[in-house]
Chains A and B, each alone.
Chain A
Amino acid sequence: MESQEARRVLVVPGEAFAEGDYKVLTPSYVVKVNKKYVAAVVGLAQINNETKEIAVIPLEGCYVPQPEDLVVGYVVDLGLTSWELDIRAPFTATLYAVDFLGRPVNPAKEDLSRYLAVGDTVLAKVEVFDRNRGPVVTTKGKGLGKVTRGTIVEISPVKVARVIGRKGSMHQLLEGETGCEVLVARNGRILINCPNKELEDVLVMAILKIEREAHIPGLTDRVKEFIIREKVKRGLIGGEAKAD
């Protein structure tokens, strides 16, 4: 795992990081100039010479919706038959009332704010997005809909992959070590439900640490140590709580 992380290079826009013929996995963030592959964003360039694949994982940037993405949206506006959600993308997302309620609405008789008002939080899935029209989200699906409990931690959308980790390893670590329910939405909003406030504090601190140190190798081990240390400090698990 560490060896794979070591093959990442920090790149900045305009920087050539590979030459020859590769398959570009992240076409939005790589430009080809005279046979050279040039980064278009500040990010980590990954070069796989075995599979002949390259990618640049951005370290900054807004959330770009993809169909099937799980997102946490905040209601910012409502129309006659739909709501507008802020999903941290360049465009607000539309949630149709017929989708949310599972039946047609009569705007003359029903006020949509009865179901979702401005400021409400919604867990949804991106249904369509083609960059020319704003994204449309759906709440059809298990666990989707209005969020009524828990709290939200916001991190940069481009760091989400690190909170999930390879094959979900970081996510499992966070849940396992804190006993909290952690739901990582693709747009950088993380919904958490914890047994108590102390554990919630530890979890939030751990998530923010992941965001800060996302580009530094050895992240998983550091986060695990961090959580254990914080739990010991708070007397949440056995061992000698260090006085400091």
Chain B
Amino acid sequence: MERPRLIREDGLRHDGRKYDELRPVRITVGALNKASGSALVEYGGTKVLAAVYGPREIPQKHLLLPDRAIIRCRYHMLSFSTHERKSPALTRREVELSKVIREALEPVVMSETFPRTAIDIFIEVINADGGTRTAAVTAASLALADAGVPMRDLVVGVAVGKIDGVLLLDVDELEDMFGEADMPVAVAPSLGLITLLQLNGVLTREEFDAALKLALKGAAQIYEKSREALRDKYMKVRVEE
């Protein structure tokens, strides 16, 4: 594929965004019926669904912990969510991301409330256009809140990329593909805790410091939208006349 022009002459990005601008964020809390909690999160063309079941007893008793609930997490992409068909089986990438997403959520979940149970988080990437793991963290955290699982804070994710030497907030797939670095970050803003941090690419120390600042700025905006979306589920209930 030919490398497209990612920073236009007017200084804007290929989709017209400014360097520190998020794609449109859309959030639906309680998108599913059967799950204890659920959320559908979209960052531009990226669409991720998360469902939470539990806390519940599970047949695999040997996994359970005596002093707290365990969290089980699966990040999975639907086979047609990507340009090339993805094999439905779990890839090594998905195994790794299931782990880092779980570890991004563990610090906020008050798992000590439900010893010897499991809280299951199922994440399905419906359409992938960059930032699927960070959208997944946001969706999973909202699904946990929707399930009524006690949490110290919500966790939201966003990625920062470096393209042609410029740091860009919330990179999409095209920018990621031709960029020099991609740094997904997840944060619990009220706790001031960074719970996911990866870097795929090379940054100087100065670039890193700036990239982290940019990510935290974007995360703060997504955090506000997440809180709104949780409240919306109740605010939108109208009194029936």
Q: Is the CB of B190 within 8 A of A10?
A: no
Give Cα distance in the complex from A38 to B151, angstroms. Answer: 10
Give Cα distance in the complex from A160 to B233, angstroms. Answer: 19
Give Cα distance in the complex from A14 to B110, angstroms. Answer: 12
B54 partner residues in chain A, CB cutoff 8 A: 62, 90
Give Cα distance in the complex from A209 to B152, angstroms. Answer: 31
* B150 within 8 A of partner (CB): yes
Q: Which of A27-35, A67-75, A119-127, A178-186 contacts B (4 or more CB under 8 A)?
A: A27-35
Which B86-139 residues have a C-beta within 8 angstroms of A? 108, 110, 113-117
Q: Is the CB of A14 within 8 A of B237?
A: no
Residue with the highest number of chain B CB atoms closer than 10 Å, among A40, A91, A213, A218: A40
Q: Is the CB of A131 within 8 A of B239?
A: no
A62 partner residues in chain B, CB cutoff 8 A: 36, 54-55, 147-148
Q: Nearest Cβ distance between residue B212 and chain A, in whole angstroms?
A: 20
* Interface SS of A by simple majority: loop
Q: Is the CB of A10 within 8 A of B240?
A: no
Residue with the highest number of chain B CB atoms closer than 10 Å, among A28, A60, A209, A213: A60
CB closest residue in chain A, given B119: A90
Q: Is the CB of A12 within 8 A of B189?
A: no
B152 partner residues in chain A, CB cutoff 8 A: 13-14, 31, 33, 38, 40
Q: Is the CB of B148 within 8 A of A41?
A: yes
A212 partner residues in chain B, CB cutoff 8 A: 237
Tell whether A131 pairs with B148 under 8 Å between CB atoms, given A212-B237, A216-B239.
Answer: no
Question: Which of B114, B189, B237 contacts A216, CB < 8 Å?
Answer: B237
* B50 within 8 A of partner (CB): no
Contact with B along A212-234 (1 / 0, CB 8 A): 11011010001000100000000
* A132 within 8 A of partner (CB): yes
Give Cα distance in the complex from A213 to B227, angstroms. Answer: 20
* B20 within 8 A of partner (CB): no
A61 partner residues in chain B, CB cutoff 8 A: 147-149
* B66 within 8 A of partner (CB): yes
* A42 within 8 A of partner (CB): yes
Which A32-61 residues have a C-beta within 8 angstroms of B? 33, 38, 40-42, 58-61
Give the number of residues in A that approach B within 8 Å (Cβ atoms): 33
Give the number of residues in B that approach A within 8 Å (Cβ atoms): 38
* B231 within 8 A of partner (CB): yes
* B191 within 8 A of partner (CB): yes
Q: Nearest Cβ distance between residue A106 and chain B, in whole angstroms?
A: 29
* B207 within 8 A of partner (CB): no
A215 partner residues in chain B, CB cutoff 8 A: 234, 237
Which A161-192 residues have a C-beta within 8 angstroms of B? none
* B171 within 8 A of partner (CB): no
B237 partner residues in chain A, CB cutoff 8 A: 212-213, 215-216
Q: Nearest Cβ distance between residue A27 and chain B, in whole angstroms?
A: 10
Q: Is the CB of A41 within 8 A of B145?
A: yes
CB closest residue in chain A, given B110: A40
Q: Is the CB of A40 within 8 A of B190?
A: no
Residue with the highest number of chain B CB atoms closer than 10 Å, among A13, A42, A216, A218: A13
Question: Which of B36, B116, B190 contacts A14, CB < 8 Å?
Answer: B190
Q: Is the CB of B56 within 8 A of A58?
A: no
* A16 within 8 A of partner (CB): yes
CB closest residue in chain B, given A130: B115
* B185 within 8 A of partner (CB): no
14 pairs across A/B with beta carbons < 8 Å? Answer: A12-B230, A13-B151, A14-B154, A14-B189, A15-B227, A42-B148, A42-B234, A59-B148, A59-B234, A60-B147, A61-B148, A90-B114, A131-B113, A216-B239
A interface residue numbers (CB < 8 A to B):
10, 12-16, 28-29, 31, 33, 38, 40-42, 58-62, 90-92, 131-132, 158, 209, 212-213, 215-216, 218, 222, 226
| Extra contacts besides A12-B227, A90-B57, A226-B240 (20): CB < 8 Å | A13-B145, A13-B154, A14-B108, A15-B190, A40-B150, A40-B151, A42-B234, A60-B146, A60-B148, A61-B148, A61-B149, A62-B54, A90-B54, A90-B69, A91-B57, A91-B117, A131-B114, A158-B148, A212-B237, A213-B239
